[in-house]
Amino acid sequence: MRIRDILRQKGPKVVTIEPDRTVLEAIRRLVDHRIGALVVTRNHGSVVGIITERDILRESAKRSDRLRETRVRDVMTTDVIIGLPDDDLDYVMGIMTKNRIRHLPVLEGEQLAGIISIGDVVNIQLERTGFENRMLRDYIHGITR
């Protein structure tokens, strides 16, 4: 299975934020959409970073009284690890685990094609495992479908 397959199920919608917005605005957007990360984009849609709950917690530990003034660009991760639609899920799981990230923006060329989370990857793996287990049980018991 590939990232493209997850995006087909999930849809291409990605909640984004601009780098000059405040961290407090980012928090509100995360809460409103019940998500853990926002892709940071410029006006023409190019990805310039990602801001996650973890980034915000680090900033809050330093200067929680300044979240209304602090800009997303000052807190976001700029060295964004991205996925490609044709990336294999096993590869993606390895990349996310190795880099200790929970959200992976997906680019097709220069365009943001979607975002997947570690939860999306785990759910697909669980579905796969359940299907394989069922097939093996059926095989062992001589059931054909």
Tens of pLDDT along 47-101? 999 999 999 999 999 988 888 999 999 999 999 999 999 999 999 999 999 999 9
- 36 within some domain: yes
Q: How much is the pLDDT for 144?
A: 63
Q: Say what the pTM is.
A: 0.83
pLDDT tens readout for residues 5-56: 999 988 878 999 999 999 999 999 999 999 999 999 997 778 999 999 999 9
Q: Name which of 53, 45, 56, 48 is nearest 12 in CA terms.
A: 45
Question: Which structural domain, as residue segments, surrounds residue 118?
Answer: 3-140
First CA to last CA distance, the chain: 23
The C-alpha angle 80, 104, 94, rounded to 5 degrees, equals 100
Assess contact for 126 and 111: CB atoms under 8 A.
no
Indicate which CATH number applies to the domain containing 55.
Answer: 3.10.580.10
Residue 88 pairs with which residues in a beta bridge? 2
What is the domain count for the chain?
Answer: 1
124 has a pLDDT exceeding 90: no
Residue 145, domain member (yes or no): no
Check residue 67 and report its DSSP letter.
Answer: T
CB 17 within 8 A of CB 38: yes
Mean pLDDT of 106-111: 90
